[in-house]
Structure 1
């Protein structure tokens, strides 16, 4: 089933709950009543939405409410660190059917693939689903995409997955489409669809993972750039100096007697670590405030979120310190103010949930249709297109 642009717009309004009545939807999108009725009828027939009477206890005809069908149209996603793989399963209504973390000894491709199979298999079994029932599968990857067809550049902590066979092995697991995105972009999309940025058309997420990354939603679509690497604020604080990244935090803790920690370790929230963690938050929060000045000037977002692999309370403290600094500083330009920072809602699950959001966004949301003229194609250029670009250079 392929939805038209107008059908995607109607479905998106229903998803967001912004225009539940047919009259409101027609007015919002600019459709005639007859066109809206045809679209709603098709979405009903496809089992994407349902039309129920809302009982209010008052006399007269009950109000009809249109909503997304729950427990249908599932998607799955995966993210990973050096010690664990996390898989998420969710439906189009935004209900997280489950998450599963599987420990790994290291981030070797075969370990990631095996853990993905194990975690996803357990989630599907619990919901009595098969892989063929999935709309698609998303993969959140710590790294960037090169200019060539299969050129993926992993974060320096994950050199094992630079090999293109890593993507091929995951893709071979599914008949449904498989999507690969940078971890910051995945987190931004997940928050836009299901988290603190739900329905916000202009959103920037600062992603504090092992690196210092980000992702942007501009005009309701995931902003990818020419090769899929847009919205990376890392150069604001170059590698080699103090910066608001997860690896910088781990290095700081190691220097203070806590070596060998990972961002997903429970010890990160222990009492012994906390004084050093709070001191790092003070410094990193100020740096995030400086980054917010730049982001506000470049992207003019309605909301800036702080998320990533750190515990939820750490993101909240970082966002509060960053906002405090940013609001005390002059704005990015005359008459402009810096946007306050807000902690992401999905927390450490944002990577897997964001990855699982990719197929749903691509199949059902209007913003996915805006990429028709971009060089970027799901983390990879078509081989012919890549060659044409190289020839032009």
Structure 2
């Protein structure tokens, strides 16, 4: 299927963003919020309805005489997008519809692929999933990749990918994927992609304007989102807190935990088998969590001081129970919340754990094409 580029005009993007962040709304409320006349709004909505990017919501109950108020909302039928990421021995692929609903979320064991093999593998799996979910002929908005490492170029084509993936570091990843997939491709650091998923799908959009998402994946990184905008930095490396932890030393990452378990005699080779193969090694995990919490203390306290976030959340492909134990340790007296929090309108919160079951990075990757079509700025 040929690529489809969505390029909404500014007023269309403002309308789409309003619906995406505030939910279904009547036309009159939209016109008032956007500062548009009723006729201008009618013209905007007519075009977006024709593109199936928005849809009318039928009222649940009769509203008496006259024409009922019919709210508008983002339409799931506006298309779908694909997200891909690679963890230790695992390939994850997600499909989401235009409204952000999850169509498919798959995970499979793989040997670490080189970039061209990876692109061919992803191309095959996208076609298989499109057939399985009856998406052939549906608008495909693009493909997002969450990359385990910081960017090396302003255009986001080359990345400092972890050494576990052979041939990836410095390779023109966007070029390779675009030439194989024949689709628009977005690439973001895995922590930044996770922040997008937690904002849209993890509930943060409803209760805070600034959030920090700390991702424990191949390494450790942070995604920062403020007023619906991803804070990327000069070349896309904002939140690269892995710099605090040299790669040749123990660090608070799942790869380090796997290495720690291996030294203790645990046969675990993939995060996918964590719960079954770590039985009997609970004391090793506990010791690692104690050390990881102490290591994370500086990074989290720095985030509190620099950004005054409304939420700090941990996400990881590790089992949620393990990540929750890490959050509990951070909240147990390690963090400096600041006395001003006690006197301000925003109550002190606790570091919490993602409820997206370790899928934040891949879901965020899938949301990248959708976010690009609606986010302002």
Give the TM-score normalised by the residue count of structure 2: 0.86
The correspondence for 1:189, drawn from 167, 181, 196, is 196
In structure 2, what is the equivalent of residue 202 of structure 1? 210
In structure 1, what is the equivalent of residue 345 of structure 2? none
Q: After superposition, give the CA deviation of every residue in 1:209-247 in whole Å (9 maximum; x if it has no partner).
A: 121111111231111111111112223344444432112
Task: Supply the distance in 1 between the matched residues of 2:15 and 2:190 (Cα, whole angstroms).
Answer: 29
In structure 2, what is the equivalent of residue 95 of structure 1? 101
Does the Cα contact within 8 Å between 1:267 and 1:273 map onto a contact in 2?
Answer: no
In structure 1, what is the equivalent of residue 3 of structure 2? none
Task: Supply the distance in 1 between the matched residues of 2:137 and 2:143 (Cα, whole angstroms).
Answer: 9
3-state SS in 2 of match to 1:155 = coil
Task: Supply the distance in 1 between the matched residues of 2:60 and 2:235 (Cα, whole angstroms).
Answer: 50
Give the 3 Å change call, closer, same or farther, for CA 58–273 of structure 1 in structure 2. farther
Aligned pairs for 1:293-312 within 5 A: 293-312=301-320
3-state SS in 1 of match to 2:105 = strand
Task: Supply the distance in 1 between the matched residues of 2:352 and 2:31 (Cα, whole angstroms).
Answer: 33
In structure 2, what is the equivalent of residue 384 of structure 1? none
Matched, 1:243 2:251: yes
Q: 1:40: how far off?
A: 2.3
The correspondence for 2:11, drawn from 6, 19, 36, is 6
Give the 3 Å change call, closer, same or farther, for CA 59–73 of structure 1 in structure 2. same
Q: After superposition, give the CA deviation of every residue in 1:22-48 in whole Å (9 maximum; x if it has no partner).
A: 333333333344433332232222211
Q: 1:17: how far off?
A: 3.8
Task: Supply the distance in 1 between the matched residues of 2:235 and 2:170 (Cα, whole angstroms).
Answer: 18
In structure 2, what is the equivalent of residue 385 of structure 1? none
Does the Cα contact within 8 Å between 1:82 and 1:107 map onto a contact in 2?
Answer: no
Give the 3 Å change call, closer, same or farther, for CA 272–63 of structure 1 in structure 2. farther
Q: What runs of 5+ residues in structure 2 fail to find an aligned partner?
A: 1-5, 343-347
3-state SS in 1 of match to 2:163 = coil
In structure 2, what is the equivalent of residue 288 of structure 1? 296
In structure 2, what is the equivalent of residue 25 of structure 1? 30
Does the Cα contact within 8 Å between 1:90 and 1:97 map onto a contact in 2?
Answer: yes
Give the TM-score normalised by the residue count of structure 1: 0.83
Does the Cα contact within 8 Å between 2:174 and 2:186 map onto a contact in 1?
Answer: no
In structure 1, what is the equivalent of residue 355 of structure 2? 345
Matched, 1:64 2:70: yes
The correspondence for 2:167, drawn from 157, 160, 166, is 160
Does the Cα contact within 8 Å between 1:289 and 1:322 map onto a contact in 2?
Answer: yes
RMSD between aligned residues: 2.7
In structure 2, what is the equivalent of residue 263 of structure 1? 271
Q: 1:18: how far off?
A: 4.1
Task: Supply the distance in 2 between the matched residues of 1:288 and 1:3 (Cα, whole angstroms).
Answer: 41
Q: After superposition, give the CA deviation of every residue in 1:235-291 in whole Å (9 maximum; x if it has no partner).
A: 334444443211221122122221552333344674323332233233323443442
Moved more, 273-282 or 38-47: 273-282
3-state SS in 1 of match to 2:183 = coil
Moved more, 306-315 or 86-95: 306-315
3-state SS in 1 of match to 2:94 = strand
